Structure 1
Amino acid sequence: MSALGSKREKFASIIRRIDGMLKNGALAHENRPVWYDVYKAFPPRVEPEYSRPVPASSVRDILYLEDIERSEAFRKYQRLGLINLFKVTDNRSTISRLISKCKQIRKMKPDITEDQLLSAVEEELQKDGEIVFLGTGSGYPSPHRGASGLILRDLQCGDQWLFDCGEGTQIQAQRSPYVHLGRVSHIFISHLHGDHMYGLPGLLCTIDQKGTAGDIVLETTAESNAEASVNIYGPQGLRRFIRLALALSRTHMKYTYAVHELILRDAHRPVGWTEWTALEADPIHDPPLHCERSGRDIHAAADGFWYNVTNADSGGPLVHSMALQHTIPSVGWLVLKPEGARSLCVETARSLGVPDGPLMGELKQNKSPDFVVLVPQGRSVLVNGQVILPDQVLMPPVRGHRIAIMGDSYDSRELERLVSSLCDQKLITSPILDVLVHEATLEQGLAEDARLKGHSTPVEVTQLAARLHVGLLILTHFSQRYAALENSGMACDPAAKDTSVSETANKPIRKEKPSVKILLDQAKSVGFDGDVILAEDLVLIRIPPVPKT
């Protein structure tokens, strides 16, 4: 091990350095730092680095680069919450990913300044996104596959959006180290079948237990829905369902929510559709709850689509919705993330005479001395009497991710029409999607049965993905008749695997379930240039970066 003052002692991690000093006698055991026993008992997921020579003074810095970067992140993104270094979930959180990105960029760009670092990290995080599948089964949750639900994680701001919420979603969310229920800000329900929404009341109560203490419930229900901590979107009837479930169970929540309903037209409903019950709550007998804020009724445009359902401003993700063909009204969601910040071409700026330092930052950001002129992004700077404009040194913007998440459907061609409409309106520049999440409930040999139940087969979905030039197709919502990948060809009843139980149970042997891999093989048989994968419960899938054009 290292000796006091050696090169390893100066540049190794602080934990290994103290270990070495204790083992070779350079530091007496009784003089060990107070934090040493804590670190040994609860080792951090990533060891703190100390990559600076020992200073001349006897008192060393208390703060490390990670601390400085974390404090800068908190100053800019105050909603990220606290981080516990000894907690696995926090070590996979947004703030942890941010610190990890800082380390990566420092290694790639050793000369980067503190002012430039956070901006560079923000650019990188804008390119990233993750999907966590909580349940991938259809119909009902089973021991090997949960009911529908997935989380879309935004690594830049820390928000987590939930799409569908079947029974057991609240349990699956707590099992995943990547999901923080207190950060769920938006919930999107595709349709009102139980395997997509029965878990919602329980999940809202769990969020209440795990949410932030700063949420305040106002005394009146007439407040703007902007005050709601959680905003929920879905077809008509969703508001009444949540209100009755919470009211009949006498649930008192400490945070506020609002339900925004997509108003349906006759064209959005199946042929011969009749309502079984009222979609709207009775204002007299079922008044709004104390924790409920007024939600919007969102009407479709003339072309039948619901545009910007979250009412987002130009700086946030836009969510558009389209009707799908199913046995009951069902919708899909198209999430368009905003353009990333334009990168600065340092070589071009230097060739124009811009010196390294603050002026480089002025060209990229809106910070500024008195002699700069405001432009849409960045500011022009004056160098040796010459005005340098941001457009001269900034790279072209990179579009944000385009992610389509479909509800149950046997015909999703409305997604194609929506993408075409957005192109016609110049809201997107090309009919290309980065990710398509779509159900593939049954194999092609059961296509007729799938159609009768309002579901799709892998071949149909992959053909749709090919027409939309999808980069990554993720299949989900599998019939419970299929075994999970790790159980392929085996009975999925745990008792059937335990010989001590099966020998005494005196029950008939269950038929082996076919592997879900059948669906993947059929999808790959179609001429499709993108990637195809099967979703699995509690698996995180990283969204590929947007290809540069």
Structure 2
Amino acid sequence: MELQFLGTGAGQPSKKRNVSSIALKMLDEINEIWLFDVGEATQHQILRTNIRLRKVTKIFISHNHGDHIFGLPGLLATRSFQGDVGPITIYGPAGLEQFVRTALKISRTKISYPIKFVVLEEGGLIFHEKGFKVYTEKLAHRVPSFGFRVVEDDHPGELLMDKLAQYNVPNGPLLGKLKNGEKIVLDNGTILDGNDFLGPNKKGRIITIIYDTRATPAIAQLAQNADVLVHESTFAGNEADLAHSYYHSTAVEAAKIARNNNVKRLYLNHISARYLGVKAKKLENQAQKIFANTRLANDFDRIVIPMKGEKDE
């Protein structure tokens, strides 16, 4: 599982940062890629990566401001040129479907695959398939805005081969059944229950993505125990009043969320164009004083998210 930042800027593109988009690559797990927000020129950013649009099956939109959705019609149109790509599902606030359908209609763009829209209204579970759940909560922005929490189901424990050795179970389907927690019968009539030979379950990974919002208790709900928290940090820590007035957050507020909610890694995202070079590093330094494992996200950064107990990369 891997996160790749396609756009880390706020409001408008700059020479160093495009506007908002993040790809969650789950190619090894379910052979899919999910996008979180699709700002202008996201498809141009994708051309500089190994992402294939045919692999994008779900898109989650936090809110309907232009720097988060203007790239969506073009990306959907280009996906039609990728062959038999299959359907796509788009989750987002009310009005998003009207925006996309109108843009496609006015431009007479033909889409070769089904598009399903799911309207986000309140918090809770919005998706559970293929070993993954996605939760959302309503945030505090000028327009309806939603944060997302992706939770991987727990993985079965490893088969304890040392414990199983005395039974001389042959390689093949019988071991597979034990690995799945099923019962098997050996040639001598012995019955073995796979659950008796499995180690403890491996906890699934948790990724939380928070775009435009003031500080609100809903963020903590989404961030609790996350392996990776991506949090908007439009303003510096000494600009809390300004951030609040613009319905945004500071790097310091993001760090406090990470520190107080048992987060493993924090990535500062949605950086104002006022913060370039050394000034952007200032946001990271402020946050690290509160939560040491903080990094400033940059366009095209790739974040590998290992299974619990495996070494971070």
TM range (shorter): over 0.9
Give the corresponding residue for 2:30. 157
Give the corresponding residue for 1:403. 207
Within-5 A mapping of 1:440-479: 440-479=233-272
SS of the residue 2:10 aligns to: coil
Instruction: Give, in angstroms, the shift of residue 518 of structure 1.
Output: 0.4
- 1:179-205 per-residue CA deviation (whole Å, 9 max, x = no partner) reads 111110000000011100111111111
- The answer to whether 1:535 aligns with 2:302 is no
Give the corresponding residue for 1:321. 136
- 1:278-335 per-residue CA deviation (whole Å, 9 max, x = no partner) reads xxxxxxxxxxxxxxxxxxxxxx3xxxx232x13x34x431111001111221100111
Rounded to whole Å, the distance in 1 between the matches of 2:140 and 2:70 is 21
Between 1 and 2, higher relative CO (CA 8 Å, sep ≥ 6) is seen in 2
Q: TM-score, normalised by structure 2?
A: 0.93
Give the corresponding residue for 1:381. 185
Structure 2 counterpart of 1:535, one-letter code: A
Q: 1:208 aligns with which of 80, 86, 101?
A: 80
Structure ID, larger Rg? 1
- Whether contact under 8 Å (1:191, 1:328) holds in the other structure is yes
Instruction: Give, in angstroms, the shift of residue 515 of structure 1.
Output: 2.6
Instruction: Give, in angstroms, the shift of residue 354 of structure 1.
Output: 3.2
Q: 1:251 aligns with which of 109, 128, 146?
A: 109
Rounded to whole Å, the distance in 2 between the matches of 1:525 and 1:418 is 23
Structure 1 counterpart of 2:212, one-letter code: D
Give the corresponding residue for 1:141. 13
Within-5 A mapping of 1:143-292: 143-154=15-26, 155-177=28-50, 179-209=51-81, 211-213=82-84, 215=86, 229-263=87-121
Rounded to whole Å, the distance in 2 between the matches of 1:181 and 1:238 is 20
Instruction: Give, in angstroms, the shift of residue 383 of structure 1.
Output: 6.1
Identity of aligned residues (%): 36
Rounded to whole Å, the distance in 2 between the matches of 1:545 and 1:472 is 14
Give the corresponding residue for 1:522. 286
- 1:499-549 per-residue CA deviation (whole Å, 9 max, x = no partner) reads xxxxxxxxxxxxxxx4311011001111x36x211111112111132238x
> Larger strand proportion, structure 1 or 2?
2
- 1:24-60 per-residue CA deviation (whole Å, 9 max, x = no partner) reads xxxxxxxxxxxxxxxxxxxxxxxxxxxxxxxxxxxxx
Instruction: Give, in angstroms, the shift of residue 174 of structure 1.
Output: 1.2
Structure 2 counterpart of 1:463, one-letter code: K
Rounded to whole Å, the distance in 1 between the matches of 2:222 and 2:299 is 30
Give the corresponding residue for 2:165. 350
- 1:397-431 per-residue CA deviation (whole Å, 9 max, x = no partner) reads 11211111112111142133467xxxxxxxxxxx5
- The answer to whether 1:338 aligns with 2:153 is yes
Change (3 A) 1:180 1:412: farther
Rounded to whole Å, the distance in 2 between the matches of 1:416 and 1:449 is 22
SS of the residue 1:460 aligns to: helix
SS of the residue 1:450 aligns to: helix
Instruction: Give, in angstroms, the shift of residue 246 of structure 1.
Output: 0.8
- Whether contact under 8 Å (1:436, 1:472) holds in the other structure is yes
- Whether contact under 8 Å (2:79, 2:85) holds in the other structure is no
Q: TM-score, normalised by structure 1?
A: 0.54
Rounded to whole Å, the distance in 1 between the matches of 2:63 and 2:9 is 15
Rounded to whole Å, the distance in 2 between the matches of 1:412 and 1:317 is 25
Q: 2:229 aligns with which of 436, 441, 445?
A: 436
- Whether contact under 8 Å (1:436, 1:465) holds in the other structure is yes
> Larger helix proportion, structure 1 or 2?
1
Rounded to whole Å, the distance in 2 between the matches of 1:417 and 1:150 is 21
Within-5 A mapping of 1:12-31: none
Rounded to whole Å, the distance in 2 between the matches of 1:470 and 1:418 is 11
Rounded to whole Å, the distance in 2 between the matches of 1:343 and 1:191 is 41
How many aligned residue pairs are there?
Answer: 308
Rounded to whole Å, the distance in 1 between the matches of 2:239 and 2:219 is 24
Structure 2 counterpart of 1:169, one-letter code: T
Rounded to whole Å, the distance in 2 between the matches of 1:467 and 1:381 is 50
Within-5 A mapping of 1:418-429: none
SS of the residue 1:363 aligns to: helix
Rounded to whole Å, the distance in 1 between the matches of 2:237 and 2:22 is 25
Give the corresponding residue for 2:309. 547
Rounded to whole Å, the distance in 1 between the matches of 2:4 and 2:221 is 28
Rounded to whole Å, the distance in 1 between the matches of 2:222 and 2:20 is 24
Structure 1 counterpart of 2:84, one-letter code: A
SS of the residue 1:395 aligns to: coil
SS of the residue 2:124 aligns to: coil
Give the corresponding residue for 1:47. none
Change (3 A) 1:525 1:383: farther
Structure 1 counterpart of 2:205, one-letter code: H
- Whether contact under 8 Å (2:211, 2:270) holds in the other structure is no
Rounded to whole Å, the distance in 1 between the matches of 2:228 and 2:302 is 14
Instruction: Give, in angstroms, the shift of residue 474 of structure 1.
Output: 1.0
- 1:227-265 per-residue CA deviation (whole Å, 9 max, x = no partner) reads xx01000011111111111111111111121111113xx
